[in-house]
Amino acid sequence: MMSFNSAQLYEWIAGFLWPMFRLLALIGTAPVFGDVSVPRPAKIGLAALAAIAISPTIETLPVVPVYSFEGLLLVLNEIGIGIAMGFTMRLVFAAVEYAGEIVGLQMGLSFASFFDPHSGGNTMVLGRFFNIVAMLLFLAMDGHLLMLATVADSFSSLPISGTPLSADGWLWVARAGGTVFSSGLLLALPLVAALLTLNLVMGILNRASPQLSIFAVGFPVTLAGGMLMMLLVMPHMNAYMGRLIEMGLASLATVLGQLAR
């Protein structure tokens, strides 16, 4: 009969809890996992299963009581690491959604919006469509598995300890937020250029033939032209989305290195 004492039991519980906080923070903020449509018990269960699988691979654990002040600092450290990783990956999807909103504005679909429970505000239809496409690409590229593998490896590059996280890591995340606008604009640029050209042609036609009611035909033509261009450009946009996702996954290791400085 296997026997164990209270010290061993405490060690097992601590070995489960420390990685659990990092994983739970990542799953709560990362794309796909952190979506509002995923039930909270499912998120907690996934984090618990991942913690059970990862905890035996962690070589050293801090000898700190969970209920102490040092334990609280460790919890905050682990939550901060998970949030930084999840937010870094979330920036990719923010760029894709921003591109969809730019295209929607050019197509005259600014009025076509609905309430997004995740952001707590209204989201344009095309922005949501682009976001869904990015999620499907993320899953097709095994991005969810690569993200979990990265957080499992992070316990070696950034072990569980009471050492404060470097401010360089948070500064890097803040600077990475600026790439949302540039990446989103580059993603939407082909469609925006085509729609601007179409609007320019309609303006010239209206100038040449004033009896042409541009307000009556402008919206249907812009909408039809935008849909046709999306059909032609979407394969190339998907390739660029894939590169953005790859860059986001690679950035997870970068942000870990910055936090460990």
Residue 92 inside a domain? The answer is: yes
Residue 32 inside a domain? The answer is: yes
- At 89 the three-state DSSP class reads helix
Asked if 194 and 229 count as a contact pair (C-beta separation under 8 A), the reply is yes
Report residue 165 as tokens: 């996280």
Q: What is the pLDDT along the chain (261 residues), one digit of tens a residue?
A: 556 666 666 777 777 888 899 999 999 999 888 887 888 899 999 999 998 888 888 877 777 777 777 878 888 888 999 999 999 999 999 999 999 888 888 887 777 666 666 666 677 788 888 988 999 999 999 998 999 999 988 888 888 887 788 888 888 888 888 888 889 999 999 888 988 888 888 878 777 777 766 667 777 888 888 888 888 888 888 889 999 999 999 999 889 888 877
Distance (Å) of CA 141 to CA 47, 55, 164, 245: 21, 26, 34, 9
**pTM for this prediction:** 0.84
Residue 1 inside a domain? The answer is: no
How many domains does the chain contain in total?
1
User: What count of Cα atoms within 13 Å lies in the side-chain half-sphere of residue 40?
Assistant: 0
Residue 62 inside a domain? The answer is: yes
Q: State how far Cα 210 lies from the chain centre.
A: 48
Residue 253 inside a domain? The answer is: yes
Residue 252 inside a domain? The answer is: yes
Distance (Å) of CA 2 to CA 5, 171: 11, 50
Residue 39 inside a domain? The answer is: yes
105-114 residues labelled b (16+ CB within 10 A) or e (exposed): bbbbbeeebe
Residue 77 inside a domain? The answer is: yes
pLDDT per residue as tens digits for the range 37-64: 888 899 999 999 998 888 888 877 777 7
Q: Which domain holds residue 158?
A: 6-260
